[in-house]
Amino acid sequence: MVTRDVENGHQTVPVLGSPDDLPDRPARPGRFIVHAVIGVLVAVFAGGWGYLMLAAGGNPAIIDQTISFDTSRPDSAGITFEIVKPADRSAVCRIRADDVNHVEVGSREVTIPAGEGIVRLKETLATSAQATSVSVYYCHLT
């Protein structure tokens, strides 16, 4: 606050002035349009992001689960996994063995015929080096 001498009287006023000291803000007629355009852009980006996340979720009609795996041998790896799928459809799953650096050392596709909805399989993969993990890489209906 600053004290001003107004004809021998003292008046205390804010340093930057008061709202009465500044002219009114000019009207901006395009402000609503700018906000509407920004809102539409945000909605489009959010919708696109949602679509990408839904598409990246894979095939929800088939579910795979690794039950166990065995990497004790240097030239092969075993996996036991379960697939849940529609009973009237066949499926193809790719199983993959990785080494300690997450490099693929073995893989193959397994075809699961139609007829059962829940299938438990035990498979063995030939590997080019010692595997440290085995997993179902993907599954899709055929």
How far apart, in whole angstroms, are the C-alpha atoms of residue 108 and residue 129? 15
- What pLDDT tens digit does each residue of the chain (142 aa) get? 555 555 666 666 666 766 666 666 666 667 788 888 999 999 999 999 888 877 776 556 788 889 999 989 989 999 999 999 888 888 999 999 999 999 999 999 999 988 888 899 999 999 999 999 999 998 888 8
Domain ranges of the chain: 2-56, 63-141
Does 2.60.40 match the CATH number of domain 63-141?
yes
For residue 6, the SS3 value is strand
Amino acid at residue number 118: I
Q: What is the DSSP letter of 62?
A: -
Q: What is the pLDDT of residue 88?
A: 87
Regarding beta strands 91-98 and 133-141, do their DSSP bridges make them parallel or antiparallel, or are they unpaired? Answer: antiparallel
